[in-house]
Amino acid sequence: MNRFKTSKFKNTTPKIAKKDGWISNIRGGSFSCQGNHIKASSKLVAFNTEQAGGGMLGVTSVKSGSDGQWTVTQVSCHSDLVTDMDFSPFDENLLVTCSADETVKLWRLCDPEQEQPGSPELTLNPGKGRLEVVHFHPTSTGLLAVGTTKSPLIWDTGCQDAPLAVLEEHGDQLQSVSWKQDGSLLASSCKDKMLRVFDPRAQLSPVQSAKSLQNNKDSRILWTKDDFLVTTGFDMMRSREVRLWDSRKLSSSVGSASFGTSSGSLIPLFDDDTGLLLLAGMGDTVIDCFEISSFEPFLTQVSHCLTDSSTRGVAVVPKLALDVLSCEVVRVLQLTDSCIVPISYQVPRKHSGQEFHDDLYPDTAGTTPAMSAEEWWQGGNKQVEKVSLHPDKRPKPKAPSAKQTPAKKELTSRGSKEDPARGCSTSSSPLSTPSSSAAPSRSPSSTSGLSSGFVPSPSPSQSAKAIHSMLGPTSKFRHIQGVVMHRDTHITNIRNLNLTTPGECDGFCTNSQRVAVPLAISGGQISICERSQPGRQPDTSLPTIQNSANVADFAWDPFDNHRLAVAGEDAKIRVWQVPEGGLKETLTEPELIVQGHTEKIYSIKFHPLARDLLASSSYDLTVRLWNLEDGEQVKLLTGHEDQVFGMAWSPDGKLLATVCKDGKVRIYDPRKSTTPMHEGPGPEGHRGARVVWVCDGKYLLVSGFDSRSERTLYLYSANSISSGAISSASVNVSPSTLIPFYDPDTSVVILTGKGDTRVYIYEVIPEEPYFIECSSFNASEPHKGLAFLPKTECNIRDVEIDVALMLTKTAIEPVAFRVPRVKKEFFQDDVYPDTAVWWEPALTASAWLSGMDGRHRKISLKPKDMTPVSEAPKETPVRKYLPSSVYLEEKTDEQKKEELLSAMVAKLGNMDDPLPQDSFQGVDEDEWDD
């Protein structure tokens, strides 16, 4: 897209089909291979499943059956994992697969309602070990590119004995290959960080190559428009990235975009007709759309689609299967653990659903091959004939014939025959193939075009309640924005920062006046930064707190901004008193030392209501409560069988919840029993977890890992945790535990992990769907974590609902989370209920231990000079558009010409009027002679 020309696809919008338009009851696999895990023709969909160790594929149809349901069946393809698959561009039933069992097989699939073939039409045995990728040639029939461990092969299926060409061996594992659209060149990416471009008919060595990739982790390569290549992979900082290359000059990329840190590889999909590039990360819940141009800017982001489930694979549906009357330009099929989700990308148009917009749909490649494999190998460069996508001009589907075409003869194997009535091959000795059908589900065409957009159908007017029930609940915080505040508020040049604190520690802590950060200096030293003194810290050493032992966890007393409790690896808790105005000299003597644990401490938590009450967990598998008034242990809680990952006090201060490595979530009532009152199953993964109370203490939110090591959020009912989580939400794949912060005023939970660049935001509600995903915040560089400030630090006039401090490698940066609103001059009382004054104690530790309960008082955040938005005067609605009669009125060409001329004359003005300079006072004629 050039800078002076607006793209017609810039407003392309993704629309996720409603749940009754999903293909459900499947078992998608999650395997380590280079394929996309799902492929589609204009008729069928094939995808990896977890049955038979990945050697079995699931097959279903793009469109639902006449009863509005999808049928899902299975095909037993290989004795080992199916690593990649591809549908022929010229035969919607012909599928090629490759596998870790070192074979390539071609299958002629039937409709899912029919029995699938028990044996392939063709089997190739390259004999070069595990096969990673396979692709049909885009212009020639019966021609394949097969990727072995270290070299690509070009194979004519008519000659089963040996490939046409074995291209030059790569220096390491081959990761991806891609044909150019005209079929002349083949590109590859490799673990040796090299990009190579081959002309297989000219030479076996690459015609272009360069060491262009920055990381040897999983990469993908794809030809796009003209001579451009796109690659996805990881940079030197292990952040995922996409780069655009000119294939004639691979030494440097022409454009790039970064996507933050995550271990899942990015799968690229490209539509040649529109120039749209779609990127989906394995394990992610996001699909990004970019437009690729031959001019600057080469990469332009179009949309950012949040999906309901984590991605296991993605595929694009061929253009001939799109709903062109609804202005659908791309359709993506997202493979998840249990379903296939169609996502329709549509261009908003005025008469969408009624007219064919030919400017959106240039003629596209048809389904008739341009030449045979032999013709291509002899130097042919014929291109596939293009066809129109106009519904009235599309080529009619070919009637099934009993006679095989020459191309089909090439693919027919011994012992199989063609059944013209069923349109698929049957073997003389078919293998028994297990099959199953999906549960009843409705077709996208039977749903309203409001969310699916696949088939236009007029929908009657519905009440707001009906629409709400159809679309589900929405969040007023869904467009929340994270904004890093001005550099003047940053604390920079923090030296010797400790970036390796234990997983149970938040990394740093703050209150309204000061920040405590651990230093990587012997003796467990902690630096104290005053928030009232932002700016660059001096290069010289500053006064610190010397804890004597390495820091395991630390926390500010919520009721005393000068008091810091530090848990050390020597099983002691030291309480320090920071003087007014900050540290003037190094502190070496704590105010109090409490000791009782027999092994290293995991974490500490102050009581939310009672002053001087502190809980701690330790490697000795106990949780202990301390009264800091006298430094004595007051309670010892037992029942844990392994490491305690995290603990949290309930909002009313009565209960204590823990999540443990033994796979259990427990709730204690410390004043009544030393053993848990409730116990239930926790996260399946054992890499770490956190727990926090939500929804007025009625639910527990646990962030942890599932059995696939994917970061997941679990929601438990506090009264019935023994029955397990009532809901869960997969986030992504990453090694660090998500640390949650819950805002009780808005019911918004903000999560991020150490070393992440992305901050996830959800609204938690006590009804389905329980988790409502909101916009996320992406930092410019990896951060250590977030620490949140009291509500009084929020700028109410900018509709800030939370303010946090973000710790990076050398700086502390404030981040404000704002809700976009139109009438900012009013107090937004719908997002600012009265807030609890949690920085004031409600009772003492002794009173709480004696059985008393307390409650924080609440205050209003409304400034005195602001009026609540609920009391704002109602404005008379202004008509934004002219009546429809104006638009429907037809004007003749003469009328239009007359209006245009009148408008031009009106701009020029009256020619008889005097010019402005005529009224100026000048020099008389007789004065010139003087």
**Tokens 């045979």 sit at which residue?**
372
Q: Angle CA(115)–CA(116)–CA(118) in degrees, nearest 5?
A: 115
**Tokens 């004639």 sit at which residue?**
248
Do 166 and 174 touch, CB atoms closer than 8 A?
no
CA distance 215 to 239: 10
Q: Is the dihedral of CA 497, 499, 500, 502 positive or negative?
A: positive
CA distance 858 to 905: 67
Burial grade of 871 (CB within 10 A; 0-12, 13-18, 19 or more): exposed
More confident residue, 758 or 885: 758
More confident residue, 32 or 656: 656
Looking at residue 443, its pLDDT comes to 35
- Could you tell me the two tokens for 291? 């437009």
Q: Is the dihedral of CA 418, 422, 423, 428 positive or negative?
A: negative
Q: Would you put residue 871 in left (φ > 0), alpha (ψ -120 to 50) or beta?
A: alpha
Pairing of strands 276-281, 286-292: antiparallel
CA distance 227 to 197: 11
CA distance 368 to 139: 9
Q: How far is CA 565 from CA 102, 168, 544, 560, in A?
A: 60, 63, 14, 11
Lowest mean pLDDT among 547-561, 563-577, 614-628, 876-890: 876-890
Do 567 and 552 touch, CB atoms closer than 8 A?
yes
CA distance 96 to 624: 62
Looking at residue 623, its pLDDT comes to 95
The per-residue pLDDT for range 394-433, each reduced to its tens digit, is 776 654 433 343 333 334 333 333 343 334 433 333 333 3
pLDDT surpassing 50 at residue 385: yes
- Could you tell me the two tokens for 189? 């990416």
Categorize the per-residue pLDDT at 743 as very low, low, confident or very high, splitting at 50, 70 and 90: very high
Q: Angle CA(242)–CA(244)–CA(245) in degrees, nearest 5?
A: 135
CA distance 231 to 151: 19
Average pLDDT on 828-853 reads 92
Mention every residue, 6+ apart, whose C-beta is less than 8 A from residue 4. none
Alpha helices, DSSP H, located in 439-540? 464-471
Q: How far is CA 712 from CA 475, 704, 768, in A?
A: 21, 6, 17
Number of neighbours of residue 414 by Cβ within 10 angstroms: 6
Question: Which of 253, 400, 328, 239 has the alpha carbon at shortest distance from 13?
Answer: 328
Cα radius of gyration rounded to whole Å, the chain: 33
Chain centre to alpha carbon of residue 13: 16
CA distance 420 to 401: 6
Give buried/exposed letters for 127-148 (b at 16+ CB in 10 A, else e). Answer: ebebbbbbbbbbbbbbbbbbbb
**Tokens 């003194």 sit at which residue?**
533
The per-residue pLDDT for range 127-147, each reduced to its tens digit, is 888 898 999 999 999 999 999
CA distance 293 to 295: 5
CA distance 97 to 31: 15
pLDDT surpassing 70 at residue 912: no
- Could you tell me the two tokens for 588? 């070496």
- The type of residue at 615 is A
More confident residue, 90 or 910: 90
CA distance 547 to 521: 11
Do 454 and 326 touch, CB atoms closer than 8 A?
yes
Average pLDDT on 116-132 reads 87
Backbone torsions φ then ψ of 536, nearest 5 degrees: -80, 130
Q: What is the DSSP letter of 901?
A: H
Average pLDDT on 573-588 reads 91
Give buried/exposed letters for 504-537 (b at 16+ CB in 10 A, else e). Answer: bbbbbbbbebbbbbbbeeeebbbbbbebeebeeb
Do 421 and 402 touch, CB atoms closer than 8 A?
no
Q: Angle CA(262)–CA(267)–CA(270) in degrees, nearest 5?
A: 140
pLDDT surpassing 60 at residue 359: yes
- Could you tell me the two tokens for 502? 């234990």
Strands of the 710-717 sheet, one edge to the other: 690-694, 699-705, 710-717, 727-733
CA distance 654 to 670: 8
Do 179 and 143 touch, CB atoms closer than 8 A?
no
The per-residue pLDDT for range 633-671, each reduced to its tens digit, is 999 999 999 999 999 999 999 999 999 999 999 999 999
Mention every residue, 6+ apart, whose C-beta is less than 8 A from residue 548. 523, 524, 568, 570, 574
pLDDT surpassing 80 at residue 452: no
Q: What is the dihedral of CA 261, 262, 263, 265, to 10 degrees?
A: -100
Portion of the chain with pLDDT greater than 90, in percent: 47
Categorize the per-residue pLDDT at 523 as very low, low, confident or very high, splitting at 50, 70 and 90: confident
CA distance 232 to 245: 11
Alpha helices, DSSP H, located in 497-603? none
Q: How far is CA 747 from CA 16, 721, 730, 751, in A?
A: 26, 20, 19, 13
Q: What is the DSSP letter of 406?
A: H
Looking at residue 721, its pLDDT comes to 92
Q: Which helix (H) or strand (E) holds 411?
A: helix 406-411
Do 725 and 689 touch, CB atoms closer than 8 A?
no
